[in-house]
Amino acid sequence: MSKGTLKSAGSHSENQARIWPGAPNPPGAHWDGDGVHFSVFSRHAEQVELVLFEDSEADAPSETLALPERTGPMWHGYVPGLAPGQCYGYRVHGPYDPEHGHRFNPNKVLFDPYAKAVGRPLSWHDSLFGYVPGTNEEDLPFSNLDSAPYAPLGSVADERFDWGDDRPPDIPWEDTILYETHVKGISKRHPDVPPHLRGTYAGLASEPVLDHLRGLGVTTVELLPVHAHVYDRRLFEAGLAQYWGYNTLGWFAPEPGYAAAGLAGAVHEFKEMVRRLHAAGFEVILDVVYNHSGEGNRLGPTLSLRGLDNLSYYKNNPGQPRYLADYTGTGNTLDAGCPQVLRLVMDSLRYWAHDMHVDGFRFDLATTLARQHYDVDMASTFFTLVEQDPVLSRVKLIAEAWDVGPGGYRVGGFPWLWSEWNGRFRDIVRRFWRGDAGLQGVFATRYAGSNDLYRAPERRLSSSVNFVTAHDGFTLEDLVSYEHRHNHANGENNRDGHEPNYSANCGEEGPADRPDVLNMRERRKRSMVATLLLSQGVPMLLGGDELSNTQEGNNNPYCQDNELTWYDWELDDRKRAFLEFTKKMVALRRAHPSFRRRFFLRGETDEQGARDVFWWHPDGREMDHGDWTNHGLHSFGVLLCGGGLHGMDPEGRKREDDTMLVLFNAGGHDVTFALPAPETLLCAGAGSSQGPWEFVSGMDMPVLEGASSASGDEGFREGDRIEDGRITVEAFSTAVLRVLR
């Protein structure tokens, strides 16, 4: 195949005068005050050229310089006189031989995966493809079109920043409450955020948003991807966007589209956001994508890794290197068995933790990183590197514990340092509160921290990150309003999006005015939020759920950068009441260590005959084996003994709490519970408790005209004593009681 017809850089003597040899490390572009050092990886290249642009508006390079030296697989050079803000890319020469996995094309200007700033976003054009699109030979014909006017460019970053007294909040796992949000979505429609800051890093860190997060009571903000990303051509041509940001272009550069200060100010503004969040007491966790890039399958564009060294960066099909292995559903998979890919991942993680001061990471499709070859191996090099790393072993690590390849579902299988998104918690909680029969046993297991998944000797309750909703899927409001996905706006004939949803519309699909439908929706929402926040493990709230946000039944709005996904801050009485209920549940969790234990419940009698947990039947007795398998039973309770908290607090004191009782009624009829007599309960570490029971929380329902009930718990208020030992819990509702120590 042809290698292209572009002229090479200037003569050796001219090149030598302008660019010095430099060194192989560190990779990327680094300004030292006098010039810029460049280094890039390509094991199979024959020549690498540095392409310099005058500014982000330039259609053609101002200068092209061949990197003068190669050390191992690293091509490098030093250009004196360059400064921050310099836009650049690379042209890489080598064989264009797709049948053998090589896709070098020096007509394509390539983005540096180590670039710490974006100098220019891409503009879609046929020249961005390494082959000639639209021919019968698919990806085989070599493209001679020059992509210089359209390719994304890196920019040399000025990394100077005064962090002052910034320090990580270091919130213990057992006290952590995650809040998953999109940088743009949370502030784009906020009426109190200054218009020029809405939808930006600065908008997220503005006082109105910080006030909301403080009032809600969450501890840790988990941001959807902020690495610089690209958007699919199909979406661009359809007038859609890559809203979620999972199509990564550069693993060091913050996405410039979220910067109020524009391209030049993204790095500084991101750091300022982190500093302000830390000052307000919040941790910052990034959702990171190291399993694939935004270049798609073999028919995708040549923007960066594909042109730098396709055979090294991507995992190819065994015996068919023209085709890419796809364990991610995106068309490509980064090769975690390649040392340079592992270095890219580790360097990126350390940069964001050390230089950008973030507090942890949530890894998209993390199982892919365990595919050192093709099968999943939890003893792979990546996990070893993380465990021994002095920086990364100290931050929060959360795995999305699956990918789409064979053997890829590994919930419960990650090493001890890791917490995991517990997709089984999500599914069972949804099904239980939908009213599915026979789930009380597995629901109790999920509520208690999923010890069937995580009770290995080296793991704790914090291994389970519990969630009911996330960015991927229905919002909580839609989970109780739609039984079918409504994704037509995505342009894929409603075929996209996760199934099954385990949702229930409560009698009417979509928006409703009927009081009985709204009442049922509010009860189910409250019960799922209460379950989430009062379960053992680490809870994660989906940002916007507390505001009753809807996406109109779209369970895959990855391409909807509009009012469908931006948070709606205009609250009516019903939405305001739900916000207050969510705050109350967060506060309840934070006030009672019974709900945020460090160690698994034992459920066994100790030497003194005491227990740390009782499972309670509505008839006024402990649950027995037959109850757990009774498909007609939808109601039961869990009694958590406050004296049975194992371990000590950070100051070495014994952890104790009130004895708490949570009652669940997931059936279609009200259920009256006969409460246990507190004086008969022998609780571990506390002996018998003193009564009577005190009401803590019910559904706190708004008054909906025409609804059959507005209280659901016989009108009890917080602090009321239940003298007769009985309480009625409304259908699809939850109640919380306690006995004071």
Residue corresponding to tokens 């803000």: 85
* Residue 318 or residue 702, greater confidence: 318
The answer to whether 162 is a known catalytic residue is: no
State the Cα–Cα distance between residues 715 and 539, nearest whole angstrom. 29
DSSP letter string over 111-171?
--TT-SSEEE-----GGGSSB-TTSTTTT-SBP----TTTS-EEE--------TT------
Burial environment of residue 492 by CB neighbours within 10 A (0 to 12, 13 to 18, 19 or more):
middle
Select which of 400, 561, 700, 730 is catalytic. Answer: 400
State the Cα–Cα distance between residues 491 and 388, nearest whole angstrom. 45
507, 529, 672, 703, 729 from 669: Cα distances, Å: 16, 20, 10, 20, 9
Average pLDDT over residues 30-37: 97
Residue 45's nearest CA partner among 87, 88, 108 is 108
- pLDDT, position 455: 86
- pLDDT, position 648: 74
Average pLDDT over residues 201-205: 98
For 22, the token pair is: 């430099």
118, 127, 134, 454 from 231: Cα distances, Å: 15, 16, 20, 37
- pLDDT, position 293: 98
Residue 396's nearest CA partner among 413, 414, 418 is 418
Q: Count the Cβ atoms, other than its own, within 10 Å of residue 636.
A: 25
With a cut of 70, say whether residue 711 has pLDDT above it: no
Residue corresponding to tokens 């002095």: 390
| Residues 158-184: tens digit of each pLDDT | 999 999 999 999 999 999 999 999 999
The answer to whether 99 is a known catalytic residue is: no
CB 475 within 8 A of CB 544: yes
Q: Count the Cβ atoms, other than its own, within 10 Å of residue 621.
A: 12
DSSP E strand stretches across 330-458:
360-363, 396-399, 419-421
Beta pairing partners, 48: 92
Residue 236's nearest CA partner among 301, 186, 287, 189 is 301
Residue corresponding to tokens 């709204």: 518
- pLDDT, position 456: 85
Ranges in the chain annotated CATH 2.60.40.1180:
602-739
Percent of the chain with pLDDT over 90: 86
With a cut of 80, say whether residue 607 has pLDDT above it: no
Return the CATH architecture of domain 12-155: Sandwich (2.60)
14-28, 551-565, 706-720: least confidently modelled range: 706-720
CB 401 within 8 A of CB 411: yes
Q: 705: pLDDT confidence band, cut at 50, 70 and 90?
A: low
Average pLDDT over residues 397-407: 96
Exposure letters 308-329 (e unless 16+ CB within 10 A, then b): bbbbbbbbbeeeebbebbbbbe
- pLDDT, position 464: 97
With a cut of 70, say whether residue 83 has pLDDT above it: yes
Ranges in the chain annotated CATH 2.60.40.10:
12-155
For 125, the token pair is: 């054009």
| Residues 551-586: tens digit of each pLDDT | 999 999 999 999 999 999 999 999 999 999 999 999
| Residues 721-735: tens digit of each pLDDT | 888 899 999 999 999
For the structural domain made of 602-739, what CATH number should be given? 2.60.40.1180
With a cut of 80, say whether residue 339 has pLDDT above it: yes
Percent of the chain with pLDDT over 70: 93
With a cut of 90, say whether residue 87 has pLDDT above it: yes
For 356, the token pair is: 């950008």
The set of residues, in sequence order, having a beta carbon less than 8 Å from that of 690 and lying 6+ positions away, is 678, 679, 739, 740, 741
| Residues 408-427: tens digit of each pLDDT | 999 999 999 999 999 999 99
- pLDDT, position 719: 81
State the Cα–Cα distance between residues 740 and 596, nearest whole angstrom. 18
Q: Count the Cβ atoms, other than its own, within 10 Å of residue 79.
A: 21
pTM of the model: 0.95
Q: How many residues does the chain have?
A: 741
State the Cα–Cα distance between residues 577 and 478, nearest whole angstrom. 17
State the Cα–Cα distance between residues 600 and 590, nearest whole angstrom. 18
| Residues 56-68: tens digit of each pLDDT | 999 999 999 999 9
| Residues 238-286: tens digit of each pLDDT | 999 999 999 999 999 999 999 999 999 999 999 999 999 999 999 999 9
Average pLDDT over residues 460-480: 97
CB 384 within 8 A of CB 432: no
